[in-house]
Amino acid sequence: MDRISVQSFGTLRDGREAHLFTLRNAKGTELNVTDFGGHVQALRTADCLGHLVDVVLGYGDIATYEAEDKFIGALIGRCGNRIARGRISIDGKNYQLDCNDGKNHLHGGFSGFNKRLWEAKPAADGLHLFYVSPDGEGNYPGKLSVQVLYDLTDDNELVIRYEAVSTADTICNLTNHTYFNLAGFSSGPVVKQKIQLFADAWTEADAESLPNGRIVSVEGTPMDLREPTAIGAHIDDDFSQLRFAGGYDHNWVVRDVPCKEYPETGLRKMVWAMAPATGITLTAYTTLPGVQFYAGNYLDGRPLGKNGTAFTKRCGFCLEAQYFPNAPANPEFLQPLLRKGDVWRAETVYAFGVTNK
C-alpha cells in the first residue's frame, strides 16, 4: 500500500480541480489533507479499544470549503490571528491590510492562504504544499514563496513544517487552524475533554480579542490551565477575558523550556489534551512562542460538516501555534518580521496516543 494516495475532491468555482491526499502510517492512522487551503480534512487514530476515530472537524466536499468562514482545518497565512485595524509598519513605511474581522485583520484577510489552491507534491518525507503569494496580495509587501510539509509518522505524529522567503521585508506568521475533538468529530461539545497548557502567562486582550501588550500571569485566574482541567470547568466563569471572547480564545505564552521528547530541535511542549470517552490523547509541541487555545465558542452549526454533522458551539478546539496576535501594534512582543531573502521557518508537532483514562 502506498503511504500517500490521492483522489479528486471536486471542482472549484473557477474550474480547477482540487484533490484530497491520504497519508497512512504503519499503525493504521490516516490523515486527509486537501490542496485547497491546505485543510486537514480528517485524522483517524486508534482509541483505547483499538477502534479508529476521526478526531478533527472537516467538510465532505470542496464547495463547502470554498464557502465556509470558520477556517476549519485551514493552513493560515500570511499572518495568523488579528492585527488591529489591519495596520502594519515596516521600517517606517505603512501598509493597510484587509479588515475582514470587523475593523481588524484576521488570518490573512480576504486573500488568505486558506482560500488558495496549492501545488501538492507527495514525497518520501510527506506531502509538500507550495504557494507563491504575489507582491501586494492582501496588501502585504513582497512576493512570498511558501512551502509547507505535512507528515504522518509511524509514532502517530502529525508534523507540520513551514518555510517562507520574501522578495521584500514583510510580515509572516503561518499556522494551522485544525479543530480537534478527541471523542470524534460528531460527538458534540468538548467541554468534558481535558486540557493542559504548558504556559505560565497569557497576553491580555480587549473586547475585540486584540492583545494590548500586557503579559499576565495565569496564577489565580480561570486562565490557569497548567494542570489537566476539563475545558468546561471554568470556561463560563465571570472573568472579563472570558466574557469578551465568549470563553477561551486567547494566546498563551509557551514556556521556553527544551523538551526531552525532541532534544536540540527548538521544539517546546505547548499542550496536552485527552478525551475520557475514547482515551485518545494529544500532545503538541512547537518552535513558535505562543499558542492560541480556542474552544469553538463561535461555531454555529453552519455549514454542515462531514456526514451532515452540525458543528455547534464548542464542538472542537484549536491549538494555533503562532507569534503573539496583534504583535505589530505591540513592539514589546516578538515580531513576525521576515526580512528580504531570509528564510522563515517553524515547526509544530501534534502527537497522538491513548490512555486508560
Report the catalytic residues.
177, 320
Beta strands 82-83; 337-338: pairing state:
unpaired
CB-based contacts of 266, cutoff 8 Å, min separation 6: 287, 347
Three-state secondary-structure class, residue 288: coil
Rounded to whole angstroms, the Cα distance separating 211 from 191 reads 25
Terminal Cα distance for the chain, rounded: 33
Rounded to whole angstroms, the Cα distance separating 127 from 22 reads 9
Rounded to whole angstroms, the Cα distance separating 126 from 339 reads 28
What is the DSSP code string of 32-60? EEESBTT-EEEEEEE-TTS-EEE-B---S
All three cell numbers of 84, joined, read: 488591529
All three cell numbers of 241, joined, read: 477575558
Bond into 303 cis (ω within 30): yes
Backbone angles phi, psi at 329, to 5 degrees: -90, -5
The CA angle 169-119-178, to the nearest 5 degrees, is: 80
Helix (H) or strand (E) holding 243: helix 240-245
Q: Report whether 50 contacts 175 (CB < 8 A).
A: no
Q: Report whether 133 contacts 139 (CB < 8 A).
A: no
Q: Give the residues across from 129 on adjacent strands.
A: 120, 148
Length reported for the chain: 357
Backbone angles phi, psi at 64, to 5 degrees: -70, -40
Sign for the CA dihedral angle at 334, 338, 342, 343 comes to: positive
